[in-house]
Structures are given as structure tokens and as C-alpha cells.
Chains A and B, each alone.
Chain A
Amino acid sequence: MSAQPARLSQNRLSQGGLIDRTQPITFSFDGKRYQGFAGDTLASALLANGVHHVARSFKYHRPRGFMGAGPEDPGALVRIGSDPATMVVNQRATEVELHEGLEAFPQNCWPSLRFDIGVVNDLMHRFLPAGFYYKTFMGPPGSWMFFEPFIRRAAGLGPAPSAPDPARYEHMNRHCEVLVIGSGPAGLAAARQAARSGARVILAEESAACGGRIFAEAEGDALIEGLAPRAWCTRVLEELADHPDVTLLTRTSASGYYAQNWLTLFENCTDHLPPSQAGNLPRHRLWRVRAQQVVLATGAIERPLVFNGNDRPGIMLASAARTWLHRYGVRPGENAVIFANNDDAWRSAFDLHDVGARIAAIIDTRPDPAPAHREAAQARGIPVRLGATIVATRGRRRIRSIDVAAFDAGGVTGKPERIACDLLCVSGGWSPNVALFSQSGGSLRHDEALASFVPDEARQEVVPVGACAGAFSLEEAVSGGREAGRAAAQAAGFVASATDPAAGETRDGAPPYRVAPAWELPSNRPKSRIRAFVDHQNDVTAKDLHLAVREGYGAVEHAKRYTTTGMGTDQGKTVGVNAIGVLSGVLDKPIGEIGVTTFRPPWKPISFGAVAGQHVGALFHPRRTTAMHDWHVANGAVFEIVGDWLRARVYRQPGEDFEAALQRECRAARNAIGVLDASTLGKIDIRGKDARVFLNRIYSNAWMKLEPGRCRYGLMTNEDGMVFDDGVTACLGDDHFHMTTTTGGAARVLAWLEEYHQTEWPDLEVFMTSVTEQWAVASICGPRAPELAADLFDDIDADPERFPFMSHASGHIDGVPARVFRVSFTGEISYEINVPASYGLWLWRTLMERGAPYGITPYGTEGMHLLRAEKGFIIVGQETDGTLTPVDLGMGWAVKKNADFIGKRSLTRSDTARDDRLQLVGLLTADPAFVIPEGSQIIASAREQSPRTPMIGHVTSSYFSPTLGRSIALALVAGGHGRMGERIHVARAGADPVPATITGTDFLAGLKDAS
């Protein structure tokens, strides 16, 4: 080794672990600089520096250290970074990988981690009982309003970043035959066996390195297939790397297990790197995997014990202590006590002892631990207390001492003895990590011998193996994994090789696991003084669970919500089973009858960014553009979004405001020529010998007699008889039609036609194909439009006499094929010119050039809305809202009497036939300069009255009409068709109602009459 090892911090072992002592890394926590090594997590590096107290708890602000060494840790949540955009909060220090320049901060404390004002909550804990939050809802009126700000400020996790996240995120969609979650001995064996069959295998490992507890335990004399476990792990990984169809994902946790074996895997791609090394990778990826077979090798999670004073920094899971030792080369304490109800935890005493720590005592709640362990303890000179419990602990920011006493079913029996220590390793036994199995729909069963819930019946193609299945020995894990991998590949159609006969022996290095449950341990202290935490993240004590039962919330799902046990970012990873155990004690029911709360995705918090993937910002949703888009942009258009399309709303000239531009555009359309980009209208080619019959059933008006060459306006109603789309359809031939729809309704209408054809009338010979974007459309209108049209077409006689309204013709413009429709949405003479879309921009430019002498002016959708409102034409979605019949809209002429169509029966229902329905009318305000705000309510009286004036309708469209030189409005008024000339009033916010007169909807007709 060329590089010199850096100076080791106080608790760092000189060798061992997955850290690189030649690569020191400087980082800071709470403003102080520390050193760690490549391969460290923030937690292991802090422990190496002797830092145990890193956080404050959610509710009582009690000091929190590291209970676990991985994703199961409930309390050591930190904030990473301080940039308002890139900082991340609520990160588990046990999972944050160290990189150069990492800056971490404590959260939920003020003014500092050491002196935290919020700790008054702890002194007040008797007044903040379980369900406090809910009780404020119930209590005296206003009490929630009173307490909410305090609760929000005092209780909590980290604050959200305040600036937009600049990071990139991605999805990755994958299909595979076998997905293996977890890369401990069982997962590795399963993945390898499946890979040998040639099946596609994805192996997801939550941490930075594969191997699971292989790297967290002393090797001792354990063997896997004849090899030392770590050598075996290396060999399996080498073999997996040689299979091209194996995808090995580290730093990837399976976050959700959904129906049809669809899982999400959350991959951290760059959080472990300094920003300068992140390159072009996204920050996180969400893998969306469809797996034919899933093997769950998610291991088990150790539980703490529930005893008085069990939540001080320096109290940690026995397995976590071994992880610090073996995976990170960190000795978490100098003077340790081990407190357990099972044989497994004794290994922590021996392993700590073997690296030079003093073991002050092993305390076991059982009278009968494994004899081999007793001998090993004796050989090391470790004092052992059996049938004993811890009744109290001391030490504010790090544990200082414990009081231990004998106990039996009646409570504490002996006189407590005080033992000094700086580390307390606890173990309440192991719980198989069944979260994903449960998410998959599989049922759980309580195993008395293991004192935990284990997978029972699977509902999907999933097999739990190893510790996840409650098989805690190495032999069971490896053989179970091998078989599961083979069987999974085979079920997916891949012949897996039989188990390797040359494989050597697999054996554990420790006595078999035995446990005697001890859910709630007694103390000799007065009841009111006992604080035995069940949930270390949400500050739930055993006493809170007792209270929940007393107040009627004893069912497990109720107790969870009443006390908040197992909620928050932690979701009760370590403590879920303890809570159930405590409940079983209080209710005096077997634990299996209590049941478990639902495991829900995600397994642990994932970033919103990963869920959104690439689909944010400019890529959030397509903004559809027409062929003329560039011209609009270059000519001052401001846009609105209609049915995902960007449509030019008005074209503002220099110095012009929106309203001025609108008035100018509309005057041009009435006095010279206006041109509109109408490309976005939906267009459907309809063909077949029954096309006409089909249209006649779809539209409310009559279609049997429309001749080729002619066009007709049509209304579509749904089954309820309500208008849902409209448009002009042209007859191209007896069996061939060109339908147009509203811009936003294009996809909906095509789906509607297909559905009716396929499900109701499959006997009709008709095909429909969308041609919306095949054609770019420029609609010219205005009194001088015929002059321009006469110049334009090579082979169409544009004279309105010979090319009459509501007809169409095909021809050419400078040799470019064009379909021209003589239809009008403005009341002016119009030519709707369709050309193949690639000619759209050329057509537009040609029109602007040749139309210039006639004063051609482009108008946007706002002008179109105004012009058609002057003419009294409806816009579906503006005048209509799905509750209006053709008759309500004054379009009874579009309802045929003699043939059936969709919605016909509904039009004769008593409700649709009543004459006081909301009906479309025109409104003219008494003050011609006043433009009514759209959406205004219409009332019958000039003043608000008591009882309140009835609302009789509302305004749907309202403009200042340049043609009439006054304001106009369209409105829906109850019984409006029978109230012509009546005076109504339009309510205004904070001002007197405005009088207006009901008129017909065609304001231009009124103008003509007047002249």
C-alpha cells in the first residue's frame, strides 16, 4: 500500500470493515469538522469520533443517537446541506454516505442541538398525552385553532427546501424473469442460481455493498459452501458480473410492491458523490420493474426492548453495535452493557470484548441462555445477570449508568444495582422484514417460537427466503435462496442447473437463535415516572398505548393512529412488533390475535423527484404546436393552452396592450380580412357505406340528405341529451365524410365514435381515422376575403355566388393541394383553407403576403371568441357545461324529429322539457361601456333582498364589441327564451348590481335591423 493511513480517530479500529483507511474524508456536522473514511456513513464516521447525540425527537425533543445502523434507525434524522434548493432533510445518518465536503446539520432543535428550547415539551409530557392532537379537535371550540401553530412549530421534522430543486430525476422501466430484493446470503444464492439459467435477473441491494449481514458479523468459523462468508460473497458477485442479463443495483431499495408483480425500486445515483463527480447521472432513479417472479431476501430487523429510560444516546441495537464493528471498523463504546432476551445479542458482548472494549455486564431477561454463551462469557470474565431487567438509566446526551434488578411476573423483586456504562446494546429479538411481502398482499402469521410475524400465504408470484421467511440460520438462508432462485427461473421458463454438488458445507458460527419474548419490562419507579419508549421516532411510550386502550382505541389500527406509533418516516421498522406486544399485554390477548397494522409503500421515504422522473418543468406535459407556430412567436403572439395546444390568443404590436390588440384584430376581420390559425380543430376522416347512417345517429340534427360537396354544422349530445361537442362536417362522397370537432374535444370525440361503433353498432360498415394534424388550416374571413381568394386558388372559383356558403372544394394553391371549406364562425364570408401540414407555414406566409394589399390581419383565439359572440355562436365548454340541451341553447332546429340519435329520449324527459331551464340569451347592459365580468351571477332585482334574491343565471361570455361600439354578453338565464326584453341585474362583488336587458344572441342581426 503506497498511501499512508490517515490518523485514526478515537474509536476507529486499526483494521477491518468496508472502509478505505487510505482515503480520509473531511466533513462537518453541526458546524464542526470531522474526519471519516471512504466507505463510512455519516453515522459511522460520527461514532468513530465519539459523537452519539445527533438529533432531537419529534415531540418531546429528547436527545437521540443511533439505535440502528441502517434503514431501520428511527431517530438519527439530519439535514444535509444548507442551500435552499439542494438541501435535503429527514435523512437517516445511518444511510448517508460520506463524501468530501459533506455538510450535515441537526434538525428539530433551536437554538442548538445541545440547548434546545423545545425540550420544555419533555417537561410537560404529562400534559401532552397520546391523542393530544385529536383531543384538540374535540375539546372546547377553537382549541385546535389555538394549539395548531404551537404543535406545528414544536413537533416536527426538517423544513422543506424553499427553492426549486435543480436536480434531474429519471424513471427506468424494466421487465425481468426474477427480481431478488436483498443481497445477503439468501439473496445472493437466489440471484446466482436464477442467473445460471440465463433468465434476466435484477438484484437490488439497499446499501452501497452487497453481502447483507455477511459484513456485519464476525466471520468466526462460519462457512458458506465451504468458503469463509466474505470470500463466498466476492465469488458470487464475480459470477453475477459475468452474466450479461443480470442487473445488480446497489444503493437501491425496493420501495413499493404493487399488483401483477410490479415493483418500484428507488436508486440513489449521486447523493453519495461530491457534486463535482455526479457527472451526467440523475440524482435518483425510480426503477419500475415488472417481474415474473420475486424473491424477497429482505432479512430481519432487530427490536429494541421496552424498559424505563430506554431512549438515550448510546443505547443501540445489539446488531447495530456489531455492524459498526465489522462493517465500519468502529468501536461504539468503551464500557458496554448488553441487555437482551435472546441468544443472538450475546455475540455483541463477545465481539466488543474482542476489540478491547470492557463489558460491564450481560443482562438477560431469561434464566436459561445458551450454555455455550455462558461459557464464552465466563472465559472472557464478563459478569452475567440472568432473569434481570434494567429499571432505570441515567445520562442526558450519552448513557452514563443503568440500574439493574431481578424481576418476575409480579414485577421487580431484587434491589437495583447501579452499573456504569457508556454503551447499552439491547435486543428484543428479531422480526423478519415482511414489509414488502405484506405489501404484495401476502398474509402474515405469528410464530410463537420466533416471537414474531412471518410470511404465511403469498398472493402473488413471490417467495420470501432466509431471515425474511423466519429462517435465521446461515444454512437455511443459503439453501433456501438457492432453491428459490432455481424455482423462480424455472417458473419463468428457464431451466436452472441443479444445485452445485461440489459446493462445500454451510454452517453458522454461532449457536442457534432462541428468544423468549419480553414485551414490556417492569420498573421499581412510580408509574408516573416510568418512560419506556415504544416508538423512538414519534415519542410514543408504553404508557401511551395503555391510555389508548383505556380510551377505547385498543384495536391495533386505532392504537397506531391514536398514539402515532409506527407513523412518520420510520413506519415502525424496529418497533412495530413491540407495540403489538405491549397491546397484547394490556388487552391480555395472544399476540397473534392482535394482528399487525398494514404495511404500505413506500418502504422508506423516497424523493418526490424520483416519482416525477423526467416529467417536470418544460417536459411536464407536451405543448402541442402548429405548423405556423414560429410565425406566431415572431409576430408578438401571446398564447393560451387549449387541449394541450398552444394557440395564439392575440398578436400584440409594439406599444399595444391586450385589449387594444384584440379590438384591432376584430375590426380588421369585420372591415377587411382576418386570418386565424385553425389547424388545431379536430378532424376525422369517416368512410364506409354506412357512414351517413352513423353520422345521423351521432349528431342530433339530420344528415341523410347532405349532398357531396356540401357541409353542415352538427351538434353531438350524450346519452343524457346534453351537448358535448359540435363542428362542421363535409360530405366528400356518398360514403366519405370529413368531420371537424372542437380543439379540446378531438380525442374524446374519436374515442366516442369508436366506442359506439365497436360496442353498439358493429354492424355498420364505417371506419374512422384521425386526420387532425395531416392538415394545417388557415381561415380567412371578412368582406375582402373573396378578393384574396380569387387571387389565391389555381383551380377553384372562389366567387361566393358559385362557391356558396356551406360548401367545399378541392383544388390547388401554386400547385399545393388544398381543401377549402366555405364555413364561417364569425358571420363574415370565410374560406377555411386546408393544406398538408408541411405546407402550413408556407400557406400562412403566402396569405400574409398576398393579403397585404387587402389589409389582412392575423387574429387569435380571443378575437375568434369575440367575433363569434357578436354573431351569437356558442363555444362548447364556454357556453356549455354538460348540463345544456340543444333546446336550452336555442338550437332546437338542430334536433331532428323523425330519426333516432344518441340522447334523443332524454330530451323528452320532464326535466329536460321544462321551460324554466337555464337558456342561452344575449345581454345588453344599460351602460354600454360596462363590460360584465364573465361568470357574474344574474339576479332578478336591483338590490339584494331578504330573503335573498334568487340567482337566475350567469354570464358565460362578455366582451366590448368593436362592431357594435358597446359591450355585449351571452348568458344563461332561467326561462330566458321567454323573457326577451326583460330587465335583469348582474350582481357585482362589493358594488351595486348592474342592470341589463335580455336580447337574442345574434347581436349582428340586431345591428342590421337597426340600420
Chain B
Amino acid sequence: MIDERRVSPLAHREPLHAGDFAHLAEDAFRGIVSVRAAPIHLAAPLQAVTGRTLPIRAGHADLGRRCAVLWLGPDEWAIITAPDAAAGIAQDLSQALAPYHHQVVDVSDYNTVLTLRGSAVRELLAKLITIDLHPRHFTRSNGVATLCGKAQIWLICREDEKSAREPLFEIVVRRSMADYLWCLIADAGREWAMPPQEPIGQVPLHMPG
């Protein structure tokens, strides 16, 4: 149950569809935990707390149904989990890591998650992202931190429970840029008739001088 006093960054948006080519939606309130530690200290506690294996190669992620762990650096990972699970994981992990140098921070509210499904998603994202998105180079169980347009994101490719053929792409983006990114992706989807979106940041300015 999501506390109804909470408002997600894209609460004002409805999912967008472009035939079978692309579907864009917000997967709001996902739990996200940032973890800094030495891998040798983290692997066992992570397994114990989340059941996931610590990914230690760049561009890789260990993706479970309820919990995903994304490699972000030699001593930095992100755990992406169900709504309301983040606080518990953060607390348990922090406790387990107490003897070691570490930092565990709940950043669930910092970010939101966009999901993209459909046959044209790779092509759509290639308009905005410079990494190699070909299935030989970026597929299920891959995740990277990169730029999408001018927004920093984490991009994750995973099995889609709704489709055997096409994977599901998840984009984790900071909340203040979520609406910009939403509109930018919708614009990239124009080719497949995704409806255009007007950014909420288009407000009257009163600049100094």
C-alpha cells in the first residue's frame, strides 16, 4: 500500500503508447538504495539480505523479480527493489556492514523509474543514448549509468514478464528531471506516433536583470 499522501514525480502523466512499437510508463515509488563498500565486504551481506549475487563487472546487474543489484563502480552499487522494501534493506545491510567502511543511503525518493516496452525501444533509445544498444552488446542482465539526452540515468535491460520476445527497459532518473526525460522520450517516439508531451517546466520566467 502506497501512502496516498505521496506524489510520484510523474503522477501528472498517463502511460503513452505507440502501437506495438513502444510503451512508456512510470513505475512509481520503487525502492532504491545506494551502497558504497568494498566488494569483499559486501558480497556476503548482500546475498544474505537480498538473495542477490554482487555484480562485479562494469555494465552488469543481477536482476531478480523483487530485487535488482546494479554495478555502478568498483565500490558502488544500486539496489532497486519493491516500494517500501528499501528502508528495511538499507537498515539490514547497514547493520551487517557495521564492522566495515560503508555507506548505505535510501534514495528511493530521489529517483523514479520509467519503463519502456515494445519492438522499437532500442531504436527509440538510440536517438538519445550513445552507448551500444545492440542485443549483442546490451541485453537482459545488463545495466549502465549513462546520459539520456541531458539527463543522467541508469538504464537496465531485463526480462519482461509480459513479453517473451522483447526485453523490458527500465530507466532510473532523478525526480527533478523525470518530466523532461518523459517528454524527450515521447518526442523520440514521434516516429511511431507516440503522442507529443509538453514539459511542465515551460512556465513564465522572471529572470534577474
Interface of A toward B, CB cutoff 8 Å: 168, 170-175, 200, 280-282, 288, 290, 613-615, 618-619, 621-627, 629-630, 633, 637-641, 645-646, 649-650, 658, 685, 687-689, 765, 767-776, 816, 836-842
Contact = CB atoms under 8 A, between A and B. Distances in A.
A611 B192 CA distance: 22
A839 B5 contact: yes
A619 B180 contact: yes
B137 A773 contact: no
B64 interface: no
A688 B175 contact: no
Nearest to A691: B103
Interface stretch (B41-49, B55-63, B105-113, B163-171): B105-113
Tell which of A170, A772, A838 has the most Cβ of chain B within 10 Å.
A838
A170 B5 CA distance: 39
B109 A623 contact: no
B27 interface: no
Contact of B200 (A175, A281, A625): A625
Nearest to A680: B176
B132 interface: yes
A630 B12 contact: yes
Given A173-B129, A638-B206, A640-B208, A836 B108 contact: yes
A200 B6 contact: no
A280 B12 contact: no
B150 interface: yes
Given A168-B190, A615-B149, A619-B149, A774 B199 contact: no
A174 B126 contact: yes
Contacts of A842: 5-7
Interface string B1-30: 001011111001000000000000000010
Contacts, number: 158
Interface of B: 3, 5-9, 12, 29, 34, 36, 75, 101-103, 105-111, 126-130, 132, 134, 137, 149-151, 174-177, 179-181, 183-184, 187-188, 190-193, 198-208
Contacts of A769: 34, 36, 103, 105, 107
B103 A618 contact: no
Nearest to B193: A280
Nearest to A632: B203
Contact of B199 (A281, A618, A770, A841): A618
Given A170-B191, A175-B137, 19 more contacts: A171-B128, A172-B126, A175-B132, A614-B187, A618-B199, A619-B149, A622-B151, A630-B12, A633-B203, A639-B205, A646-B203, A685-B105, A687-B103, A688-B103, A767-B102, A769-B34, A773-B175, A836-B109, A838-B29
A645 B179 CA distance: 13
Contacts of B191: 170, 280-282
Contact of A618 (B36, B105, B150, B183): B183
23 contacts: A175-B132, A280-B191, A615-B150, A618-B201, A619-B149, A622-B149, A623-B201, A625-B176, A625-B201, A627-B175, A638-B206, A639-B206, A640-B207, A688-B101, A689-B101, A773-B176, A816-B5, A837-B109, A837-B110, A838-B7, A838-B109, A839-B6, A842-B6
Given A614-B188, A688-B103, A771-B110, A288 B130 contact: yes
A621 B106 contact: no
B103 A685 contact: yes
B179 A280 contact: no
Contacts of A621: 150
A838 B8 contact: yes
A173 to B, nearest CB: 5
A658 B5 contact: no
Contacts of B203: 633, 637, 639, 646
B171 to A, nearest CB: 14
Contacts of A623: 180, 199, 201-202
A639 B205 CA distance: 5
Contacts of B103: 685, 687-688, 767-769
A483 B148 CA distance: 38
Nearest to A774: B110
Contacts of A614: 127-128, 149, 184, 187-188
**Helix, strand, loop or mixed for chain A's interface?**
mixed
A200 B181 CA distance: 29
A773 B110 contact: yes
Contact of A627 (B7, B107, B127, B174): B7
Tell which of B5, B106, B134, B179 has the most Cβ of chain A within 10 Å.
B5
Contacts of A641: 205, 207
A92 to B, nearest CB: 27
A774 B109 contact: yes
Contacts of A640: 205-208
Contact of A625 (B6, B34, B179): B179
A637 B151 CA distance: 26
A618 B36 CA distance: 36
Contacts of B198: 618
B199 A771 contact: no
B34 A618 contact: no
Contacts of A170: 127, 188, 191
Contact of B204 (A172, A280, A639, A687): A639
A687 B206 CA distance: 39
A638 B204 CA distance: 6
Contacts of B174: 773
B137 A619 contact: no
Tell which of A168, A687, A776 has the most Cβ of chain B within 10 Å.
A687
Nearest to A637: B203
A645 B102 CA distance: 31
B177 A622 contact: yes
Given A281-B191, A615-B150, A772 B200 contact: no
Given A614-B188, A639-B204, A767-B103, A773 B109 contact: yes
Nearest to A838: B6
B105 A837 contact: no
A854 B106 CA distance: 35
A173 B147 CA distance: 12
B139 to A, nearest CB: 14
A754 to B, nearest CB: 11
B101 A172 contact: no
Tell which of B129, B137, B200 has the most Cβ of chain A within 10 Å.
B200
B73 to A, nearest CB: 11
Nearest to B7: A841
Nearest to B205: A639
List 7 A-B pairs, minimum CB-CB distance, nearest first: A623-B201, A624-B176, A767-B103, A638-B206, A838-B6, A622-B180, A175-B132
A908 B156 CA distance: 52
Nearest to A775: B109
A639 B7 CA distance: 22
A816 B7 CA distance: 13
A629 B10 CA distance: 12
Nearest to B201: A623
B105 A649 contact: no
